Amino acid sequence: MMGGWITQQGPQNEIVLSSRVRLARNIVNTPFPAYLSMEEAKGLINQVEAAAKKNHERGYKLLVMDELPNIERQVLLEKHLISPDLIKSAKGAALISQDELLSIMINEEDHIRIQCILPGLQMKSAWDMANSEDDVLEQTLDYSYDEKLGYLTCCPTNVGTGMRASAMVHLPALNMIGNIGKILQTVTQIGLTIRGIYGEGTEFQGNLFQISNQITLGLSEEEIVQNISAVTSQIVEKEKEARSLLLNNNRIQLEDRVWRAWGILKNARVITSQEAMKLLSDVRLGMDLNIIENLSVSIINEIMIEIQPANIQKYAGEELSPEARDIIRAEIIRKKL
């Protein structure tokens, strides 16, 4: 059921969960999706589908948002295969590759958004894959492109390369030590941004963060990839330093925290998403530090996605209240561990 970046392994996988590259593209002389009629939007979906399916290796499956049950849409979102904006769009559709590493969103904010998501830190490979998919599409589609401004997008924050590259990182030790704030600040000064993935405000649920580029105009795709990779590697080093510091000075407390998390996850009968994400972060840390052995990180990835609301309801085969979900969530986790 789970595939793609969730179950596969990649470099630096103990701290970097995934590397993602997204390219925004538009068709020339055609209003952006918000201004297309349903008919025109359908026509565009057919056009893009035909262009993408020239690459037979990918085994693309077309999913039209309007025809897809709400839970199915949410499941794709929770697996990070499509964006929140796409599931809200009645005109939207997505082509998902068989291996779930590539997706092409149609009629999101832009006509086309090509996304490649790979496990671990492999930004360059993600860019290469998205880039070659872009070449395939461009063989048949006429892109909106300007000599001076590059790829023209609906939002001026994407113009130029149309590229957003992002790494999802797990930074529990830096968060415990309280150094996250400093990193957030530094990173924004060099044209990148870092934010919590789950949860809102200052609480970083599951200690998961996303580092991504802000600037799309005036830097080449390669430069953007290099910047993100270099900064992510540095943050990974800092996290490792923080972990060894914790391990050297507070080993027993750390072990206690990890094993308590393990105990609760293995035995709980009711658990909220917030609590589960926090405890999974502790267990993931424990695995990376060899406190817990003989368990694969992909299990934690799978659980992390499977305990999100829509995935739970898909598992249960019916719509559930939040309270009922907390019970099923605990059951899924016990089974997996």
Partner 1 sequence: MLCNECGKRPATVHITKIENGKKTNMHLCEQCALAKGALSINTGFSINDLLTGILNSGTPLPFKVDFMDDPVCPVCGMKYSHFRETGRFGCGSCYNSFGERLTPLFRRIHGNISHTGKIPNRAGTKFKAMREMEYLKAELAVAIKNEEYEKAAEIRDKIRALEKSNGRDE
Binding residue numbers: 18-22, 80, 113, 164-168, 195-200
Structure tokens at 101: 């590493």
163 binds partner 1 (CB under 8 A): yes
Smallest CA-to-CA distance from 170 within 36, 277, 293, 57 is with 277
From the CB of 33, what's the least distance to partner 1, in Å?
Answer: 10
Instruction: Verify binding: residue 135, partner 1, rule CB under 8 A.
Output: yes
- Binding residue (CB under 8 A) for partner 1 from 84, 178, 201, 317: 201
- The SS3 call for residue 119 is strand
Long-range contacts at 131-138 (CB < 8 A, ≥ 24 apart):
131/23, 131/221, 133/52, 133/55, 133/58, 133/102, 133/104, 134/23, 134/25, 136/51, 136/52, 136/54, 136/55, 137/25, 137/48, 137/51, 137/52, 137/104, 137/112
CB of 4 to partner 1, least distance (A): 25
Tokens of 195: 């934010």
**Given the rule CB under 8 A, which of 46-54, 136-144, 175-183, 259-267 is the region that contacts partner 1?**
136-144
As measured in angstroms, the least distance from the Cβ of 337 to partner 1 is 34
Q: Which residues are CB-contacts of 155 (< 8 A; sequence separation ≥ 6)?
A: 109
295 counts as binding partner 1 under rule CB under 8 A? no
User: What residues numbered 114-133 form the site for partner 1, per CB under 8 A?
Assistant: 131
- The SS3 of residue 98 is coil
Window contacting partner 1 (CB under 8 A); options: 31-39, 59-67, 168-176, 308-316: 31-39
Instruction: Assess 30 for contact with partner 1 (CB under 8 A).
Output: yes
Binding site residues for ATP, as ranges? 18-22, 80, 113, 164-168, 195-200
The residues, any chain, with a CB within 8 Å of residue 321's CB and separated by 6 or more, are: none
Stretch 229-288 residues interacting with partner 1 (CB under 8 A) = none
Which of 145, 179, 198, 247 forms a contact with partner 1 (CB under 8 A)? 145
Query: Which run of H or E residues covers position 319?
Result: none
Strand 16-25 relative to strand 61-64, pairing = unpaired
Report if residue 221 touches partner 1, rule: CB under 8 A.
Answer: yes
Q: Judged by CB under 8 A, does residue 2 bind partner 1? A: no
Q: Give the nearer residue to partner 1 in terms of CB position, either 159 or 320.
A: 159
Which member of 64, 68, 77, 159 binds partner 1 (CB under 8 A)?
A: 159
Q: Which is nearer to partner 1, 157 or 253 (CB)?
A: 157
Do 214 and 163 meet the contact criterion of CB atoms below 8 Å apart?
A: no
Q: How far is the CB of 249 from partner 1 (least distance, A)?
A: 32
Q: Out of 93, 112, 154, 265, point to the residue binding partner 1 (CB under 8 A).
A: 154
* Smallest separation (angstroms) from partner 1 to the CB of 214: 8
Site map 32..71 versus partner 1, x via CB under 8 A = x-xx------------------------------------
From CA 160, how far away is CA 169, in angstroms rounded?
A: 26
Provide, rounded to whole angstroms, the least separation between the CB of residue 29 and partner 1: 6
How many residues belong to the site for partner 1 (CB under 8 A)? 44
Of residues 85 and 237, the one with the C-beta less far from partner 1: 85
The Cα 15–Cα 236 span in angstroms is 7
Distance spanning both ends of the chain, measured CA to CA:
17
Compare residues 135 and 318 and give the one whose CB is closer to partner 1. Answer: 135
Long-range contacts of 77-82 (CB under 8 A, 24+ apart): 77/310, 78/305, 78/308, 78/309, 78/310, 78/311, 79/2, 79/4, 79/6, 79/305, 80/5, 80/18, 80/20, 80/117, 81/4, 81/115, 81/117
Contacts to partner 1 by CB under 8 A: 26, 28-32, 34-35, 109, 131, 134-135, 138-139, 142-157, 159-161, 163, 191, 200-201, 215-221
